[in-house]
Structure 1
Amino acid sequence: MTTTLRRIDLRGRDLDPVTLRGVVPRAELDVSAAVDAVRPICEAVRERGTAAVLEYTERFDGVRLTSLRVPAAAIGAALAALDPAVRAALEETIRRVRTVQRGLRREDSVTRVVPGGTVTERWVPVRRVGLYVPGGIAVYPSSVVMNVVPAQEAGVASIAVTSPAQREFGGLPHPTVLAACALLGVDEVYSAGGAQAVAMFAYGARDADGTLVVAPVDVVTGPGNVYVAAAKRYVQGVVGIDAEAGPTDIAVLADDTADAAHVAADLISQAEHDTLAAAVLVTPSQRLADAVDAELAAQVAATKHSERIRAALAGRQSAVVLVDDVEAGLAVVDAYAAEHLEVQTADARAVAARVRNAGAVFVGPHSPVSLGDYCAGSNHILPTGGSACHSGGLGVQTFLRGIHVVDYSAEALREVAGHVVALAEAEDLPAHGQAVTARFA
């Protein structure tokens, strides 16, 4: 299988944003198509609760469980057995992410509209959240951190984590995932993955006798494969979601100043996640494109998961997009709306400041996506598949609701009563006006 990225040549073409969205590389299997596949799974969990989750766990993960909840002893044992170097890395990641999230939490604000009339915006945490941590072909204790810390900083009182059952660990989630939960003080953890886990959180899950095993949540967050993203789309409305975080994607906007070895390494780092992962280079430099192809051939051959990486790079979701200049490249990356966007150009900060659509932007040669995956302090749970044009990454505000509190005195209400009546009459809703004038009869 080749490691050469296919090329999309847009040089000399003046394309509008709508047309650009149609020509940028995308995976063949999108979230819309996957919704049909997850619908019966979600409905089975809604109707049959725990029994359905256990059945799908056996079917998809090859593990026959008798209980979904992970025993507290298993969580504690996982932390006790954790490699000290991994523990130190997780603790530093937790510290950095907590520092950023604490700084991002919005404060309540009071606006004096008129004398005697105020509107206060209160930021109130949701009651309970369900946090999804992937566990398929890789292990993601970092995703425990990225999910849990913002919820804690928001003040969420009830936090539950779920991660796929692992056959080699007796049906428990991976022990490093459990250890990360222990470091964060989370003791409500379930062995469930895929669409059935998302549905379990959205609808709750009861045993056949009606005993509540998993209480429903208000918000479901976390990354996963395309079926997890589809399940989140299916249950949205029943619960809130962060974004449809499906297979990962990276775009690199680079010019002749970029180091081809760095660019190739960064594309490979994200292709390593999944055969459906997308790796896209947008550049005005034919020379850089050729050099990156040469680096990919050498680096992929030397890396551990070369077969998986080659499949991702060969997929139609990955490509080199040739453009006339960096200005045209900006239009392409805004149309693509990458989960991760690296800017490796001359004057990278100024170019990055002009990006409108991206989950996260990594500026210059020393801010690789891998840094953001772990220790930058930013969150790595980000919108994928082009959804960064309308959604942002997971953060403390994901778990907070803005509530407006209106407080008017009699004098302030009397002053505006005529306007309320006029608008109520214009909308043919006279009772709205009467609800004000009744106070001054």
Structure 2
Amino acid sequence: MSRASMRCPGCGSSNIVDDDLYCQAQLVCADCGSVVSEGSLAEESFNGPDISYSRTTAVTRKPCVNLIQGLERVKEISRILRVRREIEELALTYYKQAYEHETFLHVTLQRKEILGGCCVLASCRQQRWPITVGTISCLLNGDPAAVGEVYQEMIKVLNIQAPTFSVTDVMEAHCQEYKVSPGHVPEELAEDSKGLTKRAIALVELAADSWIVTGRQPLPIMMAAVYLAWQSLKPNAQRLKMSLEKFCKLAKVQKSKTAGTRITEMKGMLYKLGKEIPWYKEVLTPDNVVSLVGDVLQHRFSLLRRALKSHELSLLEKCPAGQVNPSSAETSSSSDVSEDAGQTPVKSSVNAEKEKQGRDGDESLKSPSEESNPQTQELTQNWGKRVLFAPPCVVNAKRKRAERPPLHVTGDEEISDSEIESYIRTPQEARDFAMMQEKLFTSNNESS
């Protein structure tokens, strides 16, 4: 609207003038002084510096795409594991805190994906939900060492106190994966989940007392324990003849590669303890020891003490007469067993064996034939082969490679004809070599 057509709303006068007295320009009626219209500061031009959108406060800052994808991945892992709602919410909270921390701010996308799995693992452990690092690594298709590294870094950064779990805490959840209940398999092969879990946990505890669990992956040990527990609960011919591979197909689980080795070690452990059962008069072998698993587990502590004592006495009988005093050694071994009755039997045996090794290690008691015998020297160095139960790293100790003397090659060494012929591979090379030899012989004759 032009100023000529404007009129004062108060008096109707058309005498409208600009009033620039104040910082804000406005139109005022010159007759009555009424303000006809006033300007706005927003309409004025402003030539200030440009500000990026991320630094403005006009709108609420939205999360980045990687954070949204990471939160969705945490939800997927939580629902695959079928955890409770509070565990999922706690994992999402941990992921938001860790994602914005400077430690995980500039890392690869793969490491951020592993971070989501580690948040789920920490939440499960805090809520007493048994989940292993191997399970998270399988879901993420990542390296267990990388998952463990990110997990340790995350709990340190966020100051989280997450309890650790042993293999027996995971056995209940692991046994539920085996579909061997009466509704899935025939009656003669079916087994109740509670009874199977109880027997498998007892086998794992016995394996831990026998040093089989030490330093090993948990999945093969759990699979071996479930397989032996399933066979021993109803040791009929059909179960005893079924291999581990067929059992895994029956239970609809994936077979572990090293589970067969753990089964062999557990059968050897049960065989050593089953020999000490006084009422069993038949010939016992590692193959038929499965039928005695229930008796071995019921009297495992007494059988461990009897087996350790019998093994120590057999070692004393094999020792030379002048090396160790049998009466004193027998007294010390029996006193060790009686004094350590409240402790783990395996630990008492290892301690007694180490003390005996220290007594036997005196150079004055060694005979010249014993020092020259390489088998005796190997047994002296590897004490794990002289005790009944020992850690795997001691029993299967790595041998140091013998250092070869360095070869001094100067290039002036003579090369025999047989060595030259060993390098000739084709008939053409043989003809060329013969022609060269003939030419050398002819040239030598002409020069002479």
Is TM more than 0.5 here? no
Higher-strand-fraction structure: 1
The normalised TM-score by structure 2 is 0.24
Question: More relative contact order in 1 or in 2 (CA 8 Å, sep 6+)?
Answer: 1
Structure in which a larger fraction of residues adopt helix? 2
Higher Cα Rg, which structure? 2
TM-score (norm 1): 0.24
